[in-house]
Structure formats: structure tokens, C-alpha cells
Structure 1
Amino acid sequence: MSTFLALSGCTVGPDFKIPYAPDVSGYTNDGLGKTVGATVSDGRQAQRFVMGSDVNPAWWSLFQSKQMNAFVEEAIRNHPDVAAAQYALRAARETAIAEQGGLLPQVSASASSTRERTAASGSSPASIYTLHNASVDVSYSLDIFGGTRRQIEAKWAAAEYQRFELEATYLSLTANVVTSALTDASLSAQIAATQDIIRLQRDQLQRIQQQFNLGAVPASDVLSQQSTLAQTEATLPSLQKQRAQTRNELMAYLGRLPSQDRGESVRLADLRLPQALPVSLPSALVRQRPDIRAAEATLHEATASVGVSIANMLPQISLSGSYSTSASTPSDLFSANSIAWSVAGSVTQKLLDGGTLFHTKEASVATFEQDLAKYKSTVISAFQDVANSLRAIQYDAKALQAQTAAEKAAQASLTMAEEQYKTGAVDYPTVSSAQQTYQNAVISRVKAQATRYTDTVALYQSLGGGWWNRQDETALSRPRVQPGRFAGPDSVPATNATTTDIKNKKVQEQ
């Protein structure tokens, strides 16, 4: 055993090290992301940023909607993308476990019985006899330079990639379900508001028509109101089309067909905004975002592949042995005279290969550099997502306050215009213009209200969704056997060959 450990102790190629997190203290240049207690409000529900707070893994439940919770649970349970990601993870882990078999001797056994008849020759008559054979063959490739171990390390890194692809699928699906349900609620509220405005405008048209019949107003007032009503009615089909398509999208996220829509919906007025919004520390974000962790796993795989390429350039040493026996009767099969055995060792080293192994190694180094650049790009995009979400929430509240004030002012202006029209102080185009202004203000207020919810969803999504606090990984995504030494950084303590951190930008060959 000590000889084996000595022979297998060397591992060529670079050890993987996790890249350092960006050395910044916030997400925006004015410190918004680290301000505790920064409050934004629409007059009813206030929100504040809490720097360093952890993310609730069931963040959608903070909207306090039972229907929203039911939507998310159904999507997680039914959507085929989640099942596909789970099976991809299981396949990757099984592949890594299978690769570990390369560290052990390979043993094969065979047995056969042959019935033969020899032809007569001269004075020798024909004879019939049975020949029994049994053999055991053993082969073992010594992993002196760690090529096999680097290959196993790469396979576990690929499994880690699939693990975080599963988390990314989970996060994307839940965020899409919530966003689609919010969009549906917004469009439903816009349709209801438009229908209310249409009813008011029809009533107004009926009154003006009666006044025209009495000769109190000119025909132009009737035509003006008819035009305003027609313009408002023309906006309704577009909203209805958008909602129908949003419903189809929501059904797809739930794993249903469009024809299986049962009409369940979320009402915008029933939702509650989370008051305390978590803002993860920048140093923590790189450990929370599934896309960053997936990019990190890809970088880990590329690092291990460099070691594999280097090991392939070095001598390959293997041992083999066989034990066989042949006899005409089973009782003599294992007698001393029937036994044959052999033991062999071999060393193989390519002397001329046209530069294939060298350039293969260089290609693996270039792949590492490429994956490192992609990792950095992913980190930059992640920080941009968080900053965008923080800015959106900051300005959404102000926008909603302004839109609410605009709606109230438009309603007061419309009421005043209608009263002045009755006394003849203004002409009807003034009333018609006030109606259109009020209609636009109502729709804009509904949109602004919905935007506060959708941008809150975007913040939770940009922070990673809290998967690290969830304990519901399915049996499909867990390995069936204990992976052991090469199980990856989150399963067992890392060994020297699988240390999980990149400090140096350049690959250094050992």
C-alpha cells in the first residue's frame, strides 16, 4: 500500500483555486447598496434595503398571496425543465463516479469448455476429447503523474456545473412564474380600469346625446364624445390580447397546455410588498449566484483538463498479469501441471507525434484562459443585475408616487371640466381631453404599481434566490453512492489535487 501511495502521490498540472471576489463594498457608486434603512414609499407600503441580510429561499411567499405560492409549487412540481436538469445532474455525477474506477485494478475472468474431435492420422485413430480452460487477467495503469485523478476532478467539476445549472433552472422558473403572474394581474387591472372608463364615457355620451336631442348642445359635442369613446374602446383588444398571451406563457411555466387554463389568477390589490429587502454583501454574491457558480465549475473543469494534458505527455506505466489453467477433466483443472501464469510491466512514451500532445496541452491552457474571461464577464453581469434592481426599486417608488398624484389630479381636472361644461364655461373638447388624460393616468398608475412588484422579483433573482438555504434537493439530483475523495468541494473536504480556489491568472505547470 505504501508503494502504491508513493507511486500515485504526484499530480501534475495546476490546482484549482476560486477567483477572489471583486474588491468593492457596494453595488452603486453612491453607496445605495450598503445604506441600511433607506426607505422608499408609495404612501401605503414602504421598503428599505438591509445590507448583509440573507435571502429567503421562498421569497415569493413574501408577497402574501396563496395563489402565487400555489403557482410556484405547481411549476416546480410539473415543469419538464426541472426534471431534465435533475437528470442531467444525476448523469454527470454517475459519470464522475464511473471515472473513479480508473484508479483501481481492472480484473476480468473467463472460463470455457471445448468438445473436440481429432482426425485419424496414420496409425493414430480419431479421438474425441473435452478441453476445459479458466483464466484471470489483471491490468493496472499506474497513475504516477495524476492524469486519471485530474480526469476525475474534471468530471466532478462537470457535475458541479450541472448542479448549478439545476439551481439556475429553478431560480429562472420561479422568477418567471411570479413575473408572469404579476404581469397577468397588471393587465387584468388595466383591462378593468379601461372597462370602467368606457362605462363612464358611454354614460357621458348618453347624456350629451339627450342634451343634443333637446337642442342644448351642438352635434360636434356628440361626435367628439363618440370619438373619445371609440379611441378608448380601441385600446381594450390590445390589452386583452396581451393578457391572453401572458396567460399562455404562465400555463407553459406551470407545465400545462394553454387549453388547461382554469382561470386562476393573482389580484394586484391583494399583494403585499416585502418591506425589508435583502442586499447581499458583494463578497457573498459570487458564492450565491448560480450562473457564477456554474462558470466557476467550468473554470475548475478547464483547470483539471490542463493537468490531464500534461500527464498525457509523460510516460504511461502499466502492470498486467494473467493466471490460466487448461485440463481435459474438471478435476485436473487446477492441478500444478495445468497452471500457467505471466506478469508484465510496460512503459510507453511517445517520442514523435507531430506536436499533437504539446498543442493539445496548449489548447487546454487557452480554454482555461477563455473560461476565466467568461467567469469575469459573468461576475460583471451579476453585479450589473443587482445594481439595476436596486436603482429600479429606488426610482419605482418615486414613479408610483408621481403617477398616483397624476391620477388624482387628472380625476379632479375631469370632474371640474365636466362641471364647467354644464355651466357653459368650457367647450366639450376640453372635457374630452380631460377624459383622455384621466384614462392615461389610471393605466400608468396600474403599470407603475405592478412595476414595483416585478422589480422586487428582479432583486431577489439577481441575488441568487436563496437556494443555499433550501433543503429540498430531490433523489434524482443526489448521488446514489458516496462519492468519496473526489466528490467535489461542497461534499467533502478538498484534497490537494482538488483545492477549490484560483488565485493566479496564469496556469503554472507543476
Structure 2
Amino acid sequence: MKRFAKLAIPIVTVLIAAAVAGCAVGPDFREPETPKVNSYTSTALPEETATTPGRAGAAQRFVAGEEISAQWWTLFHSEALDRLVRQALADSPSLAVAQARLRQAQENLRAEVGVVSPSVDAKLSAQRERFSPTAFGQPNTPSTVFNLYNASVGVSYTFDVGGGWRRELEAMRAQVDYQSFQLEGAHLALTANIVTTAIREASLRAQMQTAQEIEALQQKELDITENQFKLGGARRSDVLAQRAQLLQTRATLPSLEKELALTRHQLAVLAGKFPGEADLPEFTLDTLELPQQLPVSLPSMLVRQRPDIRAAEALLHQASAQVGVATANLYPRITLSGSYGTQANSTADLFGPTTGIWNVGASLLQPLFHGGELTARRRAAVAAYDQTVAQYRDTVLHAFQNVADTLRALEVDARTLKLQTEAASIARDTFDLTHKEFTLGAANSLSLLNAERQYQQARISLVQSQALRYADTAALFQALGGGWWNRSNESAAEGRNGSLPSPLEGEGVGMRGDPPHPLPSPARGEGK
């Protein structure tokens, strides 16, 4: 065994040195350049949005470059919403799927690392054989039956000159990056969906309350009209018109109730619960507070913060590595192997001084002619890379559009709410005046019906405009990436672990947070 150790250690050392000395052909990936963009919108945004009385009408100030909280939903100051989001982060199956995919990618990477490392195998065998002297030209010699025991350790390593395996490892690390950012995207989508669904529930409850208040007013008007009809002060058609108006208002309630129920069911599923068993809080607009400070990331930072952009970059890295793999297939592969052990006819003699056996070997595989297959596969890998470059650019463009749309929506919807508030106030005054005139006989039923209809529409539009401001705010946090990069810092400040680990802390994850660099074309920038 001592002799084995003396021989095996140099063999292993030589193979590891060969592995380290190898180079990898193909393009060396560099992060894409940051877009040279100074603003999200073509025209400057105001410093703050329009102001309207009420919780939903507060002015919101755009603060450029301010950090985004990883728990951004807490800025709505709703404990019920915060509890529901945290429950969803713990129980959501969609998040569990993304987490499992990340673990799968990490384990596949670990497995591939083992494949490209020198392999060391121990072998122990025992067999009983019958020897025939006829095979050696001695037919008259009696045959012999004997036992053969073997104990050996073998070391082998395939050294591909082009570094294709190392590029394959690079591609798999990029796949781990991709799954990491897919997990962050799932986390962001889940939290944003819960917040916007809770806002929709609050809006529906407010619309139902408004419809019920309008229904009560119309019921009073119907009672007055019926009394006037009995006294001869109104026509039968006036009574029917008023009753039809009331029934139309009542007809809106079932549809609102249905939509509210469906929204509650969606909230339950988002939280990982069955609709019939979920104990969900009830959300109203009065329980939500509109964040007044809106952090707006600098355009130069958006590509490092959006999970979808980072995932597209990981795919770009993977495609670049695959070009290296296809290029390396054009180069030779050298396989080095060696083994040392003992062989004897009995177990007692297996480790005797004269039973040692060993071998050292090498082989070379150089592709010569494959009918153009290898070069065509490399060109296909380059085309796939070019496709991924275009997809990455498309993702970046849509991300900037998403932020620009949301910023404009915040500005315009604030002004819309102000106008809707004024319109609802005027509609209320008009209805009150028309109601008094109708009671005194100075206005006909048609004028009253029109006033009621306008007041009802103005109230519903006002509620929808109020809810839209909350939804716009949630959409902005989502469009800017949700602050996932601050999760570990905030968790440390709170003295507890976050609900979801940052991919930068993921075991075996090759993330990069350094500044971006130009991206070479794989069809040209061959590197080692």
C-alpha cells in the first residue's frame, strides 16, 4: 500500500495540474452596458402629484435615487396586509416551485463539477476461472481451476484542450443565476398580486357601499313619487321610471358581490389556502394609507434591480458559454489514466510484496471529419446567442416602458382623482338641489332621474379613481424591482431572517454585482 501511495499521489498531482493548466476557447462573457438613458419619460415629471382631500388624495413626492424597501408593502401601513403577505411567502406553492427549481439547478451544477473533476475509483473483485492450456498450444496439458482476487485504485481525467467542460460549468452557473432571479421574480409577482388584489377588494367594498347608499336614496325618491301619484301630483310613468332606476341600481349589487367573492378566492389561493377554509382579513380603502414618498431608481440602476432583466442577462451568459462549448468540440481531448493495485490467487496473498500491478495510459481524440456537423453546431450556437441578445434588449426596453407608464399613471391619475372629486361634489349638490325642487314640485321626475344617475356614476368613478392611486403605487414598486437587494440588510436590522433568502447569498450561486461592461460578439471575440 505504501508503494501505491507513492505512485498514486504523483498521478493525481499530474492530472490536477493538467486540469488547472487548460484554457477555455470561445467568448469570455461580460455584462451588457448600462443603457445611456437619463430619464424614464420624454417630459419631466412634477416634483409631486396633485393633492385632493382624503386618504387617497395625498400628494406623492417622487424621490430620485432613494432606496426601495424590500418589504415595500408595509408602506401602506396595514398590519392585515403585512400579515397576509408574510403568510403567502411562507405557504405559496408558486414560490415553492421556484425555490425547488433553484435547488435543482444548484444540485445539477454540483453534479457537473464532479463530472469534470479527476475521477478516482476503488475496485475490488473476486472470480473463479478454469484455465485451458489448449489456448496456448498445449492440448495434452490438464486444465487448471483457480481463484483470482484483485484490489486496485484507478485515476482518470479527460483533459479537453478547448475547455468545453469548463464552458459547460459556466453555462450551468448561469442557469443557477437564471433560476435565482426567477425566484426573485416569483417573489415580487406574488407580493404585488396580493397587494393589488387587496386593493381591488377594498375598491369593490367601497363601490358596494356607494351602490347601497344610492339605493337608499332612490328608495326614498320612489316613496315620494308614489305618494305624489296617489295624491295626483305625479304620473304613473314617473313612478315606473323611478322604480326602474332603483332596480337598475340593485342589479349592480349582485355583480359586485360576485366580483368581491372571486377576489377573496384569489387572495386565498395567493396565500396558499383553500378558498373555503382561508381566514382572510377584510380590506377597505380606509384601512390603507397612501405612501407619500415614492422612491424612483435612477435609470442607470434599473437593469441591475429588475429580476426579469437579471434573468435575461443570465440566459445571455448561458448562451455565450454554449458558444464556447460548441467551439471546444472542434479541439482535441486528451484522456490520462492510471491505476495501481494488487492481484493474487488467494486473499491471504492479495497484499503480498510481489502482487503489485499498475498501469499508466493516455489517449487523444481529435475530430477530423464530421460532415460539417461541428462547425454548423457552432454557428447555431452563435445564432442562439444573437437571439438571446435581442431578447435581452427587448426585456430592457419593456422594463423601461413599464416604469415610464407607471410614473405617468401616478401623475395623471392623481389629477384625475382631483377632477373626479370635484365632479362628485357638483353631482351631489345638483342632486340635493333637484331633490328639493322635486319635493316642492318645481322639478319633474325626469330631472330627478338624471340627477340621480349622474350622482351615482360620479360616486362610483370617484371610488375607482381612489383605488387606482393605491394600485398605481404598488405597480411602481413592482416596476422598479421591489427592493429585493435590500432584503438581507433589512432582515439583519430587524434581528431576524427574511422570508426569502437573497440569491446573492445562495449556495453555489455565481451572482455578479459589479459594474457592467461591454458585451463582445461570440462570432468574433474569441478568448481563452
Provide TM-score, normalisation by structure 2. 0.88
- In 1, the alpha carbon distance for the partners of 2:172 and 2:339 equals 31
- Mean Cα displacement is larger for which, 100-109 or 126-135? 126-135
- In 2, the alpha carbon distance for the partners of 1:67 and 1:214 equals 54
Which residue type is aligned with residue 158 of structure 1?
Answer: Q
- Corresponding residue number in structure 2 for 1:387: 404
Match of residue 268, structure 2, among 236, 251, 271: 251
Paired residue total:
497
- How far has the Cα of 1:473 moved from its partner? 6.6
- Corresponding residue number in structure 1 for 2:511: 489
For residue 259 of structure 1, give the secondary structure of its aligned residue in structure 2.
coil
- How far has the Cα of 1:115 moved from its partner? 4.3
Match of residue 450, structure 2, among 433, 450, 453: 433
- Aligned residues of 1:161 and 1:297 also touching (Cα < 8 A): yes
- How far has the Cα of 1:303 moved from its partner? 0.6
- Corresponding residue number in structure 2 for 1:496: none
- In 1, the alpha carbon distance for the partners of 2:287 and 2:146 equals 91
| C-alpha spacing 1:52/1:136, structure 2 compared with 1 (3 Å) | same
- Corresponding residue number in structure 2 for 1:504: 520
- Corresponding residue number in structure 2 for 1:280: 297
Match of residue 113, structure 1, among 114, 126, 147: 126
- In 2, the alpha carbon distance for the partners of 1:289 and 1:346 equals 48
- How far has the Cα of 1:126 moved from its partner? 8.0
Which residue type is aligned with residue 145 of structure 1?
Answer: G
- Aligned residues of 1:187 and 1:243 also touching (Cα < 8 A): yes
- How far has the Cα of 1:420 moved from its partner? 1.1
Q: Is 1:137 aligned with 2:147? A: no
| C-alpha spacing 1:505/1:276, structure 2 compared with 1 (3 Å) | farther
- In 2, the alpha carbon distance for the partners of 1:235 and 1:428 equals 22
- Corresponding residue number in structure 2 for 1:210: 227
For residue 49 of structure 1, give the secondary structure of its aligned residue in structure 2.
strand
- In 2, the alpha carbon distance for the partners of 1:420 and 1:70 equals 51
- Corresponding residue number in structure 2 for 1:291: 308
Q: Deviations over 1:231-277 (max 9, x none)?
A: 11122122122112111211111111221243521111121110010
- Aligned residues of 2:229 and 2:235 also touching (Cα < 8 A): yes
- How far has the Cα of 1:116 moved from its partner? 5.3
- In 1, the alpha carbon distance for the partners of 2:517 and 2:150 equals 54
- In 2, the alpha carbon distance for the partners of 1:461 and 1:505 equals 32
- Corresponding residue number in structure 1 for 2:433: 416
- Corresponding residue number in structure 2 for 1:335: 352
| C-alpha spacing 1:474/1:329, structure 2 compared with 1 (3 Å) | farther
- How far has the Cα of 1:5 moved from its partner? 6.2
* Mapping for residues 51-450 of structure 1, pairs under 5 Å: 51-115=64-128, 129-450=146-467
- Aligned residues of 1:160 and 1:297 also touching (Cα < 8 A): yes
- How far has the Cα of 1:209 moved from its partner? 1.4
For residue 32 of structure 2, give the secondary structure of its aligned residue in structure 1.
coil
Which residue type is aligned with residue 510 of structure 2?
Answer: G
- In 2, the alpha carbon distance for the partners of 1:42 and 1:49 equals 17
- Corresponding residue number in structure 2 for 1:31: 44
For residue 39 of structure 1, give the secondary structure of its aligned residue in structure 2.
coil
Which residue type is aligned with residue 84 of structure 1?
Answer: V
Q: Deviations over 1:45-94 (max 9, x none)?
A: 11010111111111111111111111111111111111111111111112
- Aligned residues of 1:185 and 1:266 also touching (Cα < 8 A): yes
- In 2, the alpha carbon distance for the partners of 1:477 and 1:47 equals 32
- In 2, the alpha carbon distance for the partners of 1:157 and 1:182 equals 37
- How far has the Cα of 1:228 moved from its partner? 1.0
- In 1, the alpha carbon distance for the partners of 2:522 and 2:124 equals 54
- Aligned residues of 1:315 and 1:349 also touching (Cα < 8 A): yes
- Mean Cα displacement is larger for which, 246-255 or 273-282? 246-255
| C-alpha spacing 1:387/1:351, structure 2 compared with 1 (3 Å) | same
The two structures, once aligned, show a CA RMSD in angstroms of 2.5
Which residue type is aligned with residue 88 of structure 1?
Answer: R
- How far has the Cα of 1:412 moved from its partner? 0.6
- How far has the Cα of 1:297 moved from its partner? 0.2
| C-alpha spacing 1:418/1:168, structure 2 compared with 1 (3 Å) | same
| C-alpha spacing 1:309/1:126, structure 2 compared with 1 (3 Å) | closer
Give the fraction of aligned pairs with identical amino acids, expressed as a percent. Answer: 43
For residue 41 of structure 1, give the secondary structure of its aligned residue in structure 2.
coil
Which residue type is aligned with residue 294 of structure 1?
Answer: A
- How far has the Cα of 1:10 moved from its partner? 2.1
| C-alpha spacing 1:192/1:26, structure 2 compared with 1 (3 Å) | same
- Mean Cα displacement is larger for which, 63-72 or 287-296? 63-72
- Corresponding residue number in structure 1 for 2:7: none
Q: Structure 2: which 5+ runs fail to align?
A: 1-12, 489-497
| C-alpha spacing 1:477/1:299, structure 2 compared with 1 (3 Å) | closer
- Corresponding residue number in structure 2 for 1:468: 485
- Aligned residues of 1:90 and 1:476 also touching (Cα < 8 A): no
For residue 441 of structure 2, give the secondary structure of its aligned residue in structure 1.
coil
| C-alpha spacing 1:215/1:440, structure 2 compared with 1 (3 Å) | same
For residue 319 of structure 1, give the secondary structure of its aligned residue in structure 2.
strand
For residue 155 of structure 2, give the secondary structure of its aligned residue in structure 1.
strand
- Aligned residues of 1:7 and 1:144 also touching (Cα < 8 A): no
Q: Structure 1: which 5+ runs fail to align?
A: 494-498
- Corresponding residue number in structure 1 for 2:51: 41
For residue 389 of structure 1, give the secondary structure of its aligned residue in structure 2.
helix
- In 2, the alpha carbon distance for the partners of 1:103 and 1:201 equals 79
- Mean Cα displacement is larger for which, 151-160 or 247-256? 247-256
Q: Deviations over 1:293-335 (max 9, x none)?
A: 0000000011111111111110111101122432122232133
- How far has the Cα of 1:125 moved from its partner? 7.6
- In 1, the alpha carbon distance for the partners of 2:206 and 2:68 equals 30
| C-alpha spacing 1:18/1:54, structure 2 compared with 1 (3 Å) | same
- Aligned residues of 1:90 and 1:479 also touching (Cα < 8 A): no
| C-alpha spacing 1:348/1:506, structure 2 compared with 1 (3 Å) | closer
- In 1, the alpha carbon distance for the partners of 2:502 and 2:403 equals 32
| C-alpha spacing 1:506/1:342, structure 2 compared with 1 (3 Å) | closer
| C-alpha spacing 1:331/1:362, structure 2 compared with 1 (3 Å) | same
- Aligned residues of 1:86 and 1:477 also touching (Cα < 8 A): no
For residue 50 of structure 2, give the secondary structure of its aligned residue in structure 1.
strand
- In 2, the alpha carbon distance for the partners of 1:107 and 1:6 equals 15
- Aligned residues of 1:295 and 1:378 also touching (Cα < 8 A): yes
Q: Deviations over 1:196-223 (max 9, x none)?
A: 1111111221222122222232222211
For residue 222 of structure 2, give the secondary structure of its aligned residue in structure 1.
helix
